[in-house]
Amino acid sequence: MSLSIRNSGPFWRLQRRAARLNTALFQATKGRVGATFRGAPVLLLDHAGRRSGTVRTTPLIYLDDRPDLVVVASKGGSDTHPAWYLNLLAMPVTEVELPGGVRREVRPRPASSAERAALWPRLVAVYPPYADYAGRTEREIPVVILEPAACTTQRAIVQHGYGAADTVLSVSAAHPVEPPSPTQVRIRVHAASVNPIDWQMIEGHRRLLVKRRFPYVPLFDLAGVVTAAGTEVTRLQVGDRVHADNKIHGGGAGEYVNVEQELVSTIPPGLGFAEAAALPLAAQTALLAIDKAGIGGGSRVVVIGASGGVGTYAVQMAKALGAHITAVSSARNAGFVRSLGADDVVDYTTGRFDAALPAGSVDAVLDFVGGRAQWLAARTVLARGGRFVTISRDEDDRITLGSGLRVGAAILVRQARSRFGRRIAYIPVFLDASRTLLDRVDRMVSAGELKVHIDRTYGPALPDVLAALHHSKTGRTVGKIVVAVAPADTA
Ligand SMILES: NC(=O)c1ccc[n+]([C@@H]2O[C@H](COP(=O)([O-])OP(=O)(O)OC[C@H]3O[C@@H](n4cnc5c(N)ncnc54)[C@H](OP(=O)(O)O)[C@@H]3O)[C@@H](O)[C@H]2O)c1
């Protein structure tokens, strides 16, 4: 807007004031790189727009830090359908500039009304500042979604066979991006977390039960943004911030992954992608164990492995239910598990935990470490009718035919014994992840009953992911290990 207007009437004075205000507002916002809205870094292009193809775009353009979801809005009003909008849509492919000067090819398409309704609240500002448009989608203000044009391939860490992670993982710059099936959503991964199952399956510990097809993208747990939805997906929309345990399908170490909608929950407000990625597998397992143990107000509960991924969630969940918790952990983590809600702590490094507790004094033992010794100790401290819930195997790390038979036989014998004597139930737990369980976890997070403790966050490069897997394999994780695939952000 020009400031060289000469007319001095009251109308023009007002115009000049408005012009100065607009200029100031524009200068305060233009070229703002790396600002955030709802946790996602954005780039605000300047008013004249960047040259893209043959078109000069005049509106403000808001970009996600990666171009899986980009919202372009006109300023509304008389130019609700300006030429730039039509020109932009006429281009099959155009280019945008991301923070850091990275340029990406994107494919513009008009948003559906449902998508517009979902995306509109994500705009931080509109220039000129037509504040009255905030939240008003009934005006059909055009929104263009820019999807990555080259969305047929992605950068991913892939596994080529079974073995030590540093020998079987490599980076693929062109791993295929498949279209989502009718019941799947495509998620742009922002963060993933590492669980022991990840390195166990990379090394082939479970290959007798589950055969992988290679190349395979590891990491079960992930959090990110929905960038496409199958035709039968009803509950999720493009732009939703979501997380999931994608079970044996993995995919957390890639840029994009398709996930069945029945595994996907919306991230609770206020939770960053790193924390969201740290929840699905471990917290659902903890919740399942709590359910199986029948824990309620006043229950006396022992949690073995209280400082690990599953244990930290179980302690908090049992606390929220009003249980009295004895945590079994090393002395080094005693303060930490108390901070989660444990009433007492027994140091497992000084001897079996049953030595520190009166016989028959406990209603439930949650075992997140495994091994025959835990079962033997639990039997002495459990009261009549008590429950021993274990998520872990016995001594066998690697499942072979022999070890499978041994574990199966041990489970059957222990379960048979529970019908006699003090009727102590032996309950093995195997997680079958679901949205229903994850939604329950998320409600606890929203209620302030469940917090995420991240031991360490690693970068997305291969050496970082290898270090994260190695960290998990040491068995010394305190809380969770996270791999931040996209730049860190918080909501
Ligand atoms: N069945 C299922 O569906 C299912 C689901 C999830 C996990 N799991 C299995 O459950 C196990 C635990 O998973 P996770 O994610 O919690 O593992 P994790 O995070 O790697 O657990 C590490 C923690 O365990 C503690 N710990 C190690 N030995 C201990 C002992 N003898 N007594 C008490 N604490 C001990 C360590 O504390 P210190 O450093 O102080 O020793 C560390 O904080 C793994 O074997 C995993 O494969 C099974």
Half-sphere exposure of 464 (CA within 13 A, CB side): 15
* 366 touches ligand 1 (CB under 6 Å): no
Ligand 1 centroid to 133 CA: how many Å?
Answer: 51
- Mark whether 90 and 181 lie in a shared domain: no
- Mark whether 53 and 78 lie in a shared domain: yes
Query: With the C-alpha atoms ordered 6, 10, 14, 17, is the resulting torsion angle positive or negative?
Result: positive
Residue 174: inside a domain, yes or no? Answer: yes
Q: Which among 199, 219, 292, 330 is the best mutation to test ligand 1's pocket, defined by most ligand atoms within 8 Å of the CB?
A: 330
Residue 480 Cα: closest atom of ligand 1: 19
Round to whole Å and give the CA distance between 6 and 19. Answer: 13
Ligand 1, atom 25: closest residue by C-alpha:
305
- 158 close to 182: Cβ distance less than 8 angstroms: no
* 285 touches ligand 1 (CB under 6 Å): yes
Residue 488: inside a domain, yes or no? Answer: no
- Mark whether 87 and 211 lie in a shared domain: no
- Mark whether 253 and 163 lie in a shared domain: yes
- Mark whether 299 and 417 lie in a shared domain: yes
Tokens of residue 59, six digits: 């509106």
- Mark whether 307 and 422 lie in a shared domain: yes
Round to whole Å and give the CA distance between 445 and 406. Answer: 39
Q: Which among 354, 368, 389, 481 is the best mutation to test ligand 1's pocket, defined by most ligand atoms within 8 Å of the CB?
A: 368
Number of neighbouring beta carbons within 10 Å of residue 213: 5
| CATH (domain of 198) | 3.90.180.10
Tokens of residue 126, six digits: 């509109």
Q: DSSP letter for 418, please.
A: T
Tokens of residue 14, six digits: 């007002």
| Number of residues written out for the chain | 491
Ligand 1 centroid to 12 CA: how many Å?
Answer: 72
Ligand 1 centroid to 310 CA: how many Å?
Answer: 7
Task: Please identify, among 121, 148, 175, the residue that sits at the C-terminal boundary of a domain.
Answer: 148
pTM above 0.75, yes or no: yes
Ligand 1, atom 46: closest residue by C-alpha:
196
Task: Please identify, among 148, 167, 188, the residue that sits at the C-terminal boundary of a domain.
Answer: 148
Range of the structural domain that residue 5 is part of: 1-25
* 388 touches ligand 1 (CB under 6 Å): no
Round to whole Å and give the CA distance between 110 and 92. Answer: 12
Ligand 1, atom 21: closest residue by C-alpha:
308
Ligand 1 centroid to 461 CA: how many Å?
Answer: 26
- Mark whether 78 and 182 lie in a shared domain: no
| CATH (domain of 35) | 2.30.110.10
* 474 touches ligand 1 (CB under 6 Å): no
Residue 455: inside a domain, yes or no? Answer: no
Task: Please identify, among 108, 131, 148, the residue that sits at the C-terminal boundary of a domain.
Answer: 148
* 189 touches ligand 1 (CB under 6 Å): no
Round to whole Å and give the CA distance between 459 and 483. Answer: 6
- 195 close to 207: Cβ distance less than 8 angstroms: no
Q: Which among 352, 367, 369, 389 is the best mutation to test ligand 1's pocket, defined by most ligand atoms within 8 Å of the CB?
A: 369
pLDDT along the chain (491 residues), means of 10: 34 56 47 33 32 33 42 41 56 59 64 68 47 41 65 87 97 89 92 96 89 94 89 87 96 95 96 96 98 97 98 98 98 98 97 96 97 93 97 73 84 85 92 98 98 96 97 97 67 31
Query: Token match 């992840």: residue?
Result: 433
* 229 touches ligand 1 (CB under 6 Å): no
What confidence score (pLDDT) does residue 75 get? 41
Residue 349: inside a domain, yes or no? Answer: yes
DSSP string spanning 174-191?
A: EEE-PPPPTTEEEEEEEE
Ligand 1 centroid to 203 CA: how many Å?
Answer: 18
What confidence score (pLDDT) does residue 225 get? 85
* Helix-helix angle 309-320:280-293, to 10 degrees: 50
Ligand 1 centroid to 216 CA: how many Å?
Answer: 25
- Mark whether 304 and 403 lie in a shared domain: yes
- Mark whether 5 and 47 lie in a shared domain: no
| CATH (domain of 324) | 3.40.50.720
Round to whole Å and give the CA distance between 259 and 273. Answer: 17
Instruction: Please provide residue 148's backbone torsions phi and psi, each rounded to the nearest 5 degrees.
Output: -55, 130
Residue 462: inside a domain, yes or no? Answer: no
Residue 468: inside a domain, yes or no? Answer: no
Ligand 1 centroid to 476 CA: how many Å?
Answer: 8
Query: What dihedral do alpha carbons 110, 112, 118, 122 form, nearest 10°?
Result: 10
* Helix-helix angle 435-446:280-293, to 10 degrees: 90
Ligand 1 centroid to 281 CA: how many Å?
Answer: 13
* 429 touches ligand 1 (CB under 6 Å): yes
Residue 481 Cα: closest atom of ligand 1: 19
Residue 465: inside a domain, yes or no? Answer: no
Q: Which among 372, 441, 477, 482 is the best mutation to test ligand 1's pocket, defined by most ligand atoms within 8 Å of the CB?
A: 477
Residue 311 Cα: closest atom of ligand 1: 16
* 195 touches ligand 1 (CB under 6 Å): yes
Residue 181: inside a domain, yes or no? Answer: yes
* 329 touches ligand 1 (CB under 6 Å): yes
Ligand 1 centroid to 408 CA: how many Å?
Answer: 21
Ligand 1 centroid to 312 CA: how many Å?
Answer: 10
* 29 touches ligand 1 (CB under 6 Å): no
Q: Which amino acid is at 185?
A: V
Sheet holding 103-110, edge to edge: 61-63, 70-73, 143-148, 103-110, 94-97
* 428 touches ligand 1 (CB under 6 Å): no
Number of domains in the chain: 4
- Mark whether 357 and 385 lie in a shared domain: yes
- Mark whether 159 and 238 lie in a shared domain: yes
- Mark whether 137 and 263 lie in a shared domain: no
